[in-house]
Amino acid sequence: MAPMPREQIPERGVLVLAYGHKRYRRQAHSLGLSLRRHSPGLHRTLVTDDIRCAAAQEYDAVIEVEDGQTDDCRLKLSLDTFAPYSHTLYLDADALAVRPIEPIFDLFDGSDVGVVGQDIPEDHPEPWYGDVAEMCRAAGTEWLPKCNSGLILLRSTEVTRQVFARARQWADRYEALGLHPFRGGIADEPLLAMALAEQDVHSQDLTAVASATPIGISSALRVDTLAGSCVFAKQGTEVEPALIHFAADYSSDYRLAGAHYRRERLALRLSQRMGLPDRAARLAAGLRFGLQCAVFNTWIRVAGRAPRDPSGIFVAAASPPLEVSQ
């Protein structure tokens, strides 16, 4: 598959990256299945280094990139060059849609780039990929849009292109800025934050309804992708996101905390690919991963936090933060 001719490209669509380790293509496949189920009319574009992968079949257009990409987030700083729509919703591959996501486009304000999170001041007491005050000084601002780049709305404007071009410039100064390395390379979020701040673009607090990660989860995780539901408490606040972004330790590494992701992925494949009735697909997936999911939820009920999440809060106080994007 190839990108559509410009005159045929719809106004709105989804963009997903899946390159490097094969797990990202597996994740993009599952995300594509969930999007096909809940938002079948929404155009989907996949950027990958393997156009013959199974994931490609779940997308309407595929853009090929050279193989050998690093496992860090540098390619995400070029989203503006891949975004094919006038309104592009970028999603990390390790997310699943649990209900139609078209309303997300209208949740953002009129900013050229829409990111989910909260602004933090220059005197923020905890580090975020590095010293926040130093990052603010570099950007010439008194605040940063602390965001999760697992979901970004890009409008096709000159400001959007300037933001991403500036973030790529910051990437060349990553070490000089004192930012923590990520997977042996760079993290995209602090660079985007500085570039966004320079353009006076703020984070928007849409976690409860748009996209949320289980990082900082403080209640049992209740998710049923086929039935269209997802509810859990994040740092004490109940959220019901349209997209659950499982985020690294919850999916990629396939530890105990990834049981819910594996269960939902299997249910989607049984239903969407093999044609099993939803009830049978949920039952089969529950038999395979139900015990692990129950153990995980019991842990949270007892401890008030997920395994390997000692504080129940995303920001680390004294070490490089866990980054939740692909």
Q: Looking at residue 113, what DSSP letter applies?
A: E
Q: Across residues 60-74, what is the average pLDDT?
A: 80
- Tens digit of pLDDT for each residue in 278-325? 999 999 999 999 999 999 999 999 988 887 675 443 333 233 333 333
256 versus 187: the higher-pLDDT residue is: 187
Of all residues in the chain, the percent with pLDDT exceeding 70 is 87
- Reply yes or no on whether the pLDDT at 252 is more than 50: no
Which of 53-62, 152-161, 235-244, 303-312 has the weakest average pLDDT? 303-312
Q: Across residues 20-25, what is the average pLDDT?
A: 89
Whole-structure pTM value: 0.90
Rounded to the nearest angstrom, the gap between the alpha carbon of residue 318 and the centroid of all alpha carbons in its chain is: 24
Pairing type for strands 222-224 and 229-234 reads antiparallel
Helix (H, G, I), strand (E, B) or coil at 204: strand
Of all residues in the chain, the percent with pLDDT exceeding 90 is 76
Domains and CATH numbers, the chain: 6-106 (3.90.550.10), 108-198 (no CATH), 211-303 (no CATH)
Do 146 and 120 touch, CB atoms closer than 8 A? yes
Q: Which of 58, 60, 88 is nearest to 76 (CA)?
A: 88
Q: According to the model, what pLDDT value does residue 315 have?
A: 34
Q: According to the model, what pLDDT value does residue 193 have?
A: 97
- Tens digit of pLDDT for each residue in 99-145? 999 999 999 999 999 999 999 999 999 999 999 999 999 999 999 99
Q: How many Å is the Cα radius of gyration of the chain?
A: 19
The burial class, CB within 10 Å (0-12 / 13-18 / 19+), for 298 is exposed
Do 127 and 321 touch, CB atoms closer than 8 A? yes
Could you give the C-alpha distances from 121 to 124, 133, 144, 198, 231, in angstroms and in order?
Answer: 5, 8, 6, 14, 30
Handedness of CA 288, 289, 292, 293 (dihedral sign): negative
- Tens digit of pLDDT for each residue in 181-231? 887 789 999 999 999 999 999 999 999 999 999 888 899 999 999 999 999
> What is the spatial distance between Cα 115 and Cα 167, in angstroms, rounded to a whole number?
14
Q: According to the model, what pLDDT value does residue 323 have?
A: 37
- Reply yes or no on whether the pLDDT at 74 is more than 70: yes
